[in-house]
Amino acid sequence: MNAILIKLFATALTLSQVTTRPDAIRTQFDPAKDGPAVVQLLRDGCAHMRKAFDIEDINLDDLISTAMEDPKAVAGESKLLHGLDIAELNTSYKQFCKGENPANSPFEARAVIEFYNKAVTDLPDANALKALRLPGATTILDGRGQRFSETFEPNGRRVAVPIGEVPPLVQKAFIAAEDKRFLTHRGIDERGVIRAFIGNLASPGRPQGGSTITQQVVKNLSVGDDVTYERKIREMIVAARAERVMTKPEILGLYLNGIYLGRGAYGVEMASRSYFGKSVKDLNVAEAALLGGMPKGPNFYNPDRYPDRARERRAYVLTRMKEEGAITEAEMNTALAAPLGLAPLERLRQDAGFHFVDHLTREARTLAGLDSLTAGAYTVRSTLNAGLQEATEGILQESLSRYEASTGRARYEGPEANLADAVRRIEAAGAPPAPEPAPAPTPEPKGKKGSKQAKVVKPAGPKPAWQRALETARLPLYDVHWPAAVVLSTGGQGGVRVGLADGRVASLNPGAARGRLAPFDVVRVKVWESKGAPRADLRIRPQVQGAVVVLENRTGRILAMAGGFSYPLSQLNRVTQSVRQPGSTLKPLTYLAALNAGLQPNTLVMDARVTLPPIGGVGDSWSPKNYEGGGGSGPVTLRRGLEHSKNLVTAQLLRGGIAEKAPASLSKVCDIALEAQLYAECERYYPFVLGAQPVRMIDLATFYAAVANEGERPSPYGLESVTQGDKVLYQHADRPLARIGSADRVAFYQLKSLLQGVTQRGTAAALARFSPYVAGKTGTSEDENDAWFSGFTNEITIVAWVGYDNADGRRRTLGRGQTGGHLSVPIFSQVLQAAWANGVAKSPLSGPSPEAKRLIADEPIDLRSGSRVAGGGFMEHFRLSVDGRLAETRFKLVPQEQIYAMRPDSEQDGDAIEGGLPGENPGRMPDEAPDADRYDPFGALFGRPEPRPYARRAQPVPAPEPYWPGARSRSPFGDEDEGIRRPRRRDPDYPFGDDPNY
């Protein structure tokens, strides 16, 4: 039996059942026994269909006779019945529709039954449609309430509305255009099927569908839209069953909310907003008719590209509405004369914040109890600063690329795309030839003396094919903030030339891709102006990764979050979903514990080799070393130890600086870490104080925000509210900040002052010009695997990290000297300035709070030695006891006699000390006080009288001015620590899995 005929008979069997006995549709027949039953069903169906032919005034006998005489007169060039013998179709017609029993019948019941049984296996349940909730497009607003992005599933950009909120006028427009008997048929309109079948035979071209609204719902939302006989069979059965379990309004509601209507919009509400900028309930007659005509072909009748087609289709719908009595003739004529009235085409293309939007989805699930932001059409208010977010991503991407280029690690791995085929298609379709390169941009004054801004002069005439191809290209790295360019020439006398999206042509420095570019390759570039002409440098996607988070100190609001170089390359959010060794950025914990124990910032600590015994007598002793190696520089103040990130000083504090014994000191440091929620568990081994235990970036940022707040810890969040229509589903509740009680306000304020010194004179001295506003700490883990900077102003905390992913179990170094001060401080600096440019306040670091101020005295000291001076010097912040007296702790850890014994022999001969403290390299150090060369840095220790006792000062102390304005980013004291190798741990606080090996 002919294969096409088998499929036609199986389809006819389905149609016979759904039209003659919709309540008893059989989905399985016995091939051996049910042949007669199938024949009877086909005959009953044909009799029913002949009545429908009579109603439609179609003479089926004449049609068949014409087909027999000249099949092309009916079928034309249609492929609908390709491979079918028309004579067999005529014989079959006589057998089932005229009651004859021809001897040469091609019909084989077994073959038809077997095909039918297979086609209807595992039919979808029509009841599922009744309970179906369509996915929606959620609108995400930034912190100012401005639209930032949308998130939706594929084919899910919709705002579903109840059918009761869709005006009857709009409902009638769709019914008139798509299914005029919708309210009366039972899922299948046999007359519509016949009309479409005959129309397709007689008029090859755009095929007519013949499907009812119910069938379209089933096709779109249940059985799929593949063009096969099997799908059509399944569609008809499920549609007939849906009519039994659902009401007509329910079916129409699914249809109107589910249908695609162009401009990326699904459903009438989203389409109404997209085309007309208004809700569906506000549409007029002309607008309703335009939408009602779109399901037939949203692309073919696209009013943006084919306005004449759209008007023609609208006129047809208006005519049908008038025929059905939905509108009057006057209303029809008015609508026919109306302009299309389209709102500007808004291409809301999100190109930033993808990691943040993912984070919002997780917060919505955890905090608001929503399974997904795309489960419905919600409005989400976020904390995001949109301008800062985009700037942060651009800064991170540029910094990572520059790092690999500067270290020779950049590897060109090919273009992002090649548009050669697209250009050929455009040119073959009659695209005009490319014009000459654009003339040089004309400089215009920017308003500031000496500064000029290039005015972009677009080339005249039609766009060249390469530019049109670039406009429509879908590039994989859609969130990379370098512009895309098309390679137009690969060398020769003019060098490498690229075309930019605005039509200009620029010369390109190909860098690592030299000799490897092909015509019409799409590459990423950095554009700049040289002598009025555009020039471009190639940008290569780096292998190194990085992350940045910006947190509001007093609220915990996440203002910006860059979770990696590019979201399409890696969806892992390194701000919240991975842990890395923090290195020296964790040292402030130890200093906080020491300050809380009563040490002062001028307390002397030996920067010398130290060995701490095993904890509890188990394991090995611990002997750390400084970043630069060596045996240390002798006694330094607590302040200088942190400013210059001395590992040995940090370790020495465990030996009597916090508690009497090192294990007890470590416990106190761990207590602070746990209360600050840096960790869920603290690994109690000594290298912990140097940052050997991995931490999440978001938790580190929260701790530094707590330092800025004098110990009040915010809870980071990105989700402000979720609403659906007028219903508020979630609203972030403002709560008092949690107090870290393991250290008091005085200790936190003193630590803030020490961290400000890091940016003035220490390992982050590259930030010296910002130091009145900024405090923070650099960090570098073992073998330079991680480079950090964590810093804060009064308003925000910024944490930046650079490193290679190590999910494959291999740790990769950034290279010797690639420290937090070298890599992450510049990122912080640029993000900080971007924050100020995007509305974050810029204010000098505040003095102590009233609670802390009562227990603080400010006195001038020699910055290097920590000794008191009579006037001038550095204004230090000292803790007072409850009786208002200042406890002298300068020699608590290093006895005065020990320091005197370390006095150099040259000093005993009366020569001035120029080499600084014992053990340091000769020469004046960059953080000396201005008059350090003129007096003994150890003051009274070597004969100079002590100044008068400390006097308590009540006034706030302004941020000290930097003593080293030309400071380098690394100091001669040794920059960062070398963390200690430890096995990776399972972090029980990690919310996305129990083994984050990143």
pLDDT of 947: 39
- The two most distant CA atoms of the chain are separated, in Å, by 134
Residue 783 to residue 979: CA distance in whole angstroms: 8
pLDDT at site 576: 96
Cα–Cα distance, 692 to 582 (Å, whole number): 7
pLDDT tens string 746-797: 999 999 999 999 999 999 999 999 999 999 999 999 999 999 999 999 999 9
Share of the chain above pLDDT 90, in %: 62
pLDDT at 59: 57
204, amino acid identity: P
- The band of 872, judged by pLDDT with boundaries at 50, 70 and 90, is confident
pTM: 0.79
Does residue 229 contact residue 209 with C-beta atoms inside 8 Å? Answer: no
Residue 925: per-residue pLDDT: 28
If DSSP codes are grouped into helix, strand and coil, which group holds residue 500?
strand
pLDDT at 900 over 90: no
Q: What is the mean pLDDT of the chain?
A: 83
Is a pLDDT exceeding 90 seen at residue 238?
yes
The tokens describing 204, both together, are 């090859």
pLDDT digits (tens, 9 = 90+) for 605-649: 999 999 999 988 787 899 998 887 767 789 999 999 999 999 999
pLDDT on residue 979 = 37
φ and ψ at 490, to 5 degrees? -105, 5
Written as six digits, the tokens of 75 are 């079928």
Q: What pLDDT is attached to residue 156?
A: 87
Q: Work out the burial of residue 728: count CB atoms within 10 Å of its CB; fewer than 13 is exposed, 13-18 middle, 19 or more buried.
A: exposed
Distances (CA, A) of 855 to 340, 657, 711, 746, 951: 73, 21, 16, 7, 12
**Considering just the CA atoms, what is the radius of gyration of the chain in Å?**
38
**DSSP states along 122-145:** TPPPHHHHHT-----PEEEE-TTS
Contacts of 836 (CB under 8 A, 6+ apart): 842
- Report pLDDT for 64: 55
Binning pLDDT at 50, 70 and 90, where does residue 226 land?
Answer: confident
- Does the pLDDT at position 988 exceed 70? no
Q: Is the pLDDT of residue 890 over 90?
A: yes
More confident of the two residues 340 and 907: 340
**Mean pLDDT of the 704-713 span:** 98
902: helix, coil or strand?
Answer: coil
Task: Give the model's confidence band at 950: pLDDT under 50 very low, under 70 low, under 90 confident, else very high.
Answer: very low
List pLDDT tens digits, range 331-376: 999 999 999 999 988 766 778 999 999 999 999 999 999 988 888 8
